[in-house]
Chains A and B, each alone.
Chain A
Amino acid sequence: MSCELNKKERSGVINPIFTCQPAGAQYASIGIEDCIGIVHGGQGCVMFVRLLFAQHFKDNFLLASSSLHEDAAVLGGVHRVEKAVDVLLMRYPDVKVVPIISTCSTEIIGDDIDGVVRKLNNGLLKEKYADREIHLIPIHTPSFKGSMIEGYDVAVRDFVKAFAKKEEPNGKINLITGWVNPGDVTALKHLLSEMDVDATVLFEIESFVSPLMPDGEAVSHGSTTIEDMKSTANAIGTIALNRYEGGQAANYLEKEFEVPAVIGPTPIGIRNTDAFLANIKKMTGKSIPQSLVRERGIAIDTMTNLIHMFFADKKVAIYGNPDLVIGLAEFCLDLEMKPVLLLLGDDNKKYSKDPRIIELQEKVEYDMEIVQNADLWDLESRIKNKEIDLDLIMGHSKGRFTSIDNDIPMLRVGFPVYDRAGYYRHPILGYAGAIWLVEEMANVLFTDMEYKKNKEWILNVW
């Protein structure tokens, strides 16, 4: 009985868990106010990522393409970036931040996006846009390295690098959320506000949820400002919730500006949220108020109603972003469940040294498997070959048919979720997130019991 860390043996990928790096950089870009990224590559690298965001948020997000066509692919395409920057700036007068995001094709042909940024800074921006504040930021995200996770991590680091500037201490903490939903940011800010802590949040994405207004003018876009990013150098400390999505930026701020960094844990579940609050307390000297004791109590009350009767020993498979998967697994253990299969969708070499994974390997008393570089066939084939017998799957919508075709209930969690309504609105982080997670898990299991007529009568008196 043990927890094994394995790598997928099969070559290639069947039903990928992640898309490639540029998508991560694009997700980071839309979190910044007055920012429109230019993806230097084929048009599909933008069009499909925008579609993915639209599928998840049911809203439109702005990103541009350098529209690499055949001639540029053969002869080099930096002139397409020059043109794209000019066209974008002419037509979007409010734009201040323009990340230039590379892709596989433009990295292979060796287009020098750093060089073109220097050229534009010394040329076009001085000549034509002298009266405007404009920041061009090259971000290298070759699609053949890492995954969307690394792309996000690299982009957050590069944005911070581009803007962070030592000035007077600002008395705030930096909160780098990682790849989360607007509902999570709301839940995190609530915790900070109860602790009376002021934070610079990377990124302020609550405004991804935008209204349909009578004047028809609202748009969905993040609201982290250049000032916010500048001031990250002057914080009391940085808390990066996710090791793999924002960890590099936290490390950079520590190294460059001596802003102490605490990386993790992702505040999923009671224990991790407790740790998050303890870290804030330590960093700021602020105490944890009664209001949070009470809130935590409500979460624990909610769980107590459910755990022993419905969750104990339920076998779970979890896939998605690594910090999310690990955090959910830890929470499931506290809920008396048995996460038996964790799928991490890329080949990040750091996984085997991740203390959280080592801890699982050392302490779990039943059979658990963690697969690196996994795909969704790693899940489906184990189900079909009866290597695992699952009560619940947790993961994003791309795995929906694994759940549907194998009659295993699934709680949608992570990114993207496009086959359930409004999930981006709800938190999975903090005590509020813990409540939402357990109640949704329970409701998914209940619906499945009724659908399969599997002791559905037990709910008569619960």
Chain B
Amino acid sequence: MPYHEFKCSECIPERKKHAVVKGEGEDLTSCLPLGYLNTIPGTISERGCAFCGAKHVIGTPMKDVIHLCHGPVGCTYDTWQTKRYISDNDNFQFKYTFATDMKEKDIVFGAEKLLKKNIIDAFKTFPEIKRMSVYQTCASALIGDDIDAIAKEVMGEMPDVDIFVCNSPGFAGPSQSGGHHLINIAWVNQKVGTFEPKITSDYVMNYVGEYNIQGDQEVMVDYFKRMGIQVLSTFTGNGSYDELRGMHKAQLNVLECARSAEYICNELRVRYGTPRMDIDGFGFKPLSESLLKVGLFFGLEKEAQAIIDEEIARWKPEFDWYARRLKGVKVCLWPGGSKLWHWAHVIHDEMGVDVVSLYTKFGHQGDMEKGIARCADGALAIDDPNELEGIEAMKELKPDIILTGVRPGEVAKKMRVQYLNAHAYHNGPYKGFEGWVRFARDIYNAVYSPIHQLSGLDISKDEIDTDNRFMTRQMISDVKIDKEEAAISDEREYTGDYDCVTKLRGKKYPKLEKGDISVG
């Protein structure tokens, strides 16, 4: 067994089977780490809780909803303004956050009355918003408040409002992943089938497991709409509450992040017979294949191909400029869950970078299966890494860059490893053809930063170069490329706008202007 034992974790034998090295010629039967087990206390793991998995990851990207946490104020405060799930309604979902602010007397006597008053007050304060999600927390779960009953009571008294209840306290599972599951099932149980959406196309899909980080959803939905497909709902980035109640009317569920949202797709398949199609929105090839796959399902291959051709013609020369310069860059791919396998092979195949390690904070063994199957030989795969293991791995592997979250990124920074935000992106979106160029550009900017080069110089010992007054990124990156070959190519640097998303809003799609064809 190719288990990798970290020196820093030799004293905790439970960690022994959580890291593997994918050896040459080995398959998954011999190199799959354990996954999604309870966290070992005190390891300084990077995992979050099931409350944040439900509320922060999946619940809050829903845009036209009052998001109310039933608990002390911290759960609300802490999961507010720490992500970049934008929306086309001026970001109501992350500008406003609501807490019942449970206090000691509520813990002792129960807080159902407080909850009811809060729900009513919140609707009164924002009379234009008629939809609400109420999230349980550790505290309200432990005192046993019946949130469902209160929600029903209010809905009885206020017929124009609709309330969704998510019972996913922080302790419900080893990580945020427990919350993903709970909110998926809660939504399908409570809300799907309670709203009849307008159908305006012969081709109707839901886009599932997509959270509109820096506009990913809007970029992808633009492609689907250009093909003539009505995207009935998105679960949940930039998604609307009522549209998501109408998920049952779609002909297909197109699934992006299977880690966080496969549950609802599977339930919709069982309950409504809607097929599930897994896609990859990252990378020219996977994205092209994904659009073709969706096209094939609806008989819209030509439409899909037309978009692919147009987009690749526009963006490939810009992508190639970066790819030429990223070859051989060593990457630690350390995201939360699904990007582990979304990116494992494609950044290697298309950008030419070498994935020397991958890890997952909250992924399951299934995610590792996909990630390890896709990554190159020799990669170190770690489940539920902790701080010391991450440091040990970076010292050993000496990556040029790690793709991870804000805080682990700071750990890397201090070790002179560049970091790119894998969750919220640096300058995204990263999905879509243009997004893929932006991703490559961001990696390039990080790796070939002149200041980064300077950070390794010890002026007390090393020789100081007094001749060069400055360096550019290109002076650093182009040392290793074939300049003649580059000169005759049609490659160019990125030419897109800083904001490539806002202009998509309000765009007209002639193929979708049929009116409601579900009526009559």
By a beta-carbon cutoff of 8 Å, the part of chain A in contact with chain B is: 10-16, 18-23, 36, 38, 41-45, 47-52, 54-55, 58-60, 62-70, 72-73, 80-81, 83-88, 90-91, 103-105, 108-109, 142-145, 147-148, 210, 212-219, 347, 377, 381, 397-398, 400-401, 405
Contact = CB atoms under 8 A, between A and B. Distances in A.
Contacts of B455: 212, 214
7 contacts: A10-B125, A15-B80, A20-B72, A58-B410, A63-B44, A65-B41, A212-B413
B79 interface: yes
Interface in B382-427: 387-388, 405-408, 410-411, 413-416
A100 B285 CA distance: 50
A138 to B, nearest CB: 16
Given A18-B73, A68-B171, A73-B169, A104 B139 contact: yes
A58 B406 CA distance: 9
Contact of B99 (A12, A23, A145, A347): A12
A55 B82 contact: yes
B242 interface: no
A143 to B, nearest CB: 4
A51 to B, nearest CB: 5
A347 B142 CA distance: 24
B48 A44 contact: yes
Contact of A48 (B82, B96, B139, B171): B82
Given A109-B142, A216-B416, A104 B71 contact: yes
Nearest to B175: A43
Given A36-B44, A45-B74, A216-B414, 12 more contacts: A16-B97, A43-B47, A44-B49, A47-B52, A48-B78, A50-B407, A66-B41, A68-B170, A69-B171, A72-B171, A216-B416, A401-B95
B421 to A, nearest CB: 12
A361 B38 CA distance: 54
Interface residues of B, number: 81
Contacts of A143: 71-74, 139
Contact of B456 (A12, A69, A84, A214): A214
B174 interface: yes
A144 B103 contact: yes
Contacts of A347: 103
Interface string B20-49: 000000000000000000111111111111
B201 interface: no
B77 A11 contact: no
Contacts of B39: 43, 65, 67, 69
B173 A69 contact: yes
Nearest to B39: A67
A101 to B, nearest CB: 12
A10 to B, nearest CB: 5
Interface string B92-106: 000111111111101
A395 to B, nearest CB: 14
A45 B171 CA distance: 11
A194 to B, nearest CB: 31
B11 interface: yes
Contacts of A54: 406-407, 410
